[in-house]
Amino acid sequence: MGKRISLKRMSGFVEGSFPMTYLGEPIVVGQLTARCKARMEGQRESVEGAWLAVMFWLRNILDKMNKEGVASRLDLALLEALGVCILAALASKPRLIYWKKPKEGRVKLNMDGNCRGNPSSCEGEGIIRDGAGRLIVGFSNFFGHGTNNEAELRALAVGVQLCKNLGFLHVEIECD
């Protein structure tokens, strides 16, 4: 009688020619195991059990695709059509963000532009702070009709002009 090789070990030998894994996730191994049990031991898996296993694999593959940054909109649409929950996979942990003081002898311009639609009515806002974080001046301008990129650039232009008018030559700029 020949030596028995586990299916998990086998996947490494046939990976290039037989789709045993995708991003390291075993796809076919469970199906082969179920098929062997059905043929050799008379144990049959229900259709619901097989579907749940496929959904589990798809969910794990989606998680790995998101971590690798390779999930496309088409991938997500297909998985959603199959009933795979994609919302939890797309959720990310909140990041702590904070304002950093400018270097000694500089001021910091923080600005943002926004648009109600794209294109639509747009505006831009910003603030200038000193090295201790104290507010020097703030501004808010309505720009009329435009795109979100126009709003960002106009807010930047207004902020830089304001810094120039106030005599600030060394300015650090932060925007999104």
User: What is the structure's pLDDT at 18?
Assistant: 38
Render pLDDT for 39-96 as a digit per residue (tens, 0 to 9): 667 777 677 777 777 777 777 777 777 777 777 777 777 777 777 766 554 556 677 7
Spatial separation of the C-alpha atoms in residues 63 and 57, rounded to whole Å? 10
Residue type, 93: K
Residue 60: CA atoms inside 13 Å, Cβ hemisphere, count?
13
What residue spans of the chain are helical by DSSP H? 7-13, 29-36, 47-68, 73-81, 87-90, 148-165
107-174 carries CATH number 3.30.420.10: yes
CA-to-CA dists, residue 155 to 15, 117, 170, 176, angstroms: 54, 17, 18, 11
Lowest mean pLDDT among 17-21, 76-80, 148-152, 163-167: 17-21
**Domain ranges for the chain:** 9-90, 107-174
Can you say how many angstroms the Cα of residue 112 is from the centroid of all Cα atoms in its chain?
Answer: 22
Instruction: Give the predicted TM-score (pTM) of the model.
Output: 0.48
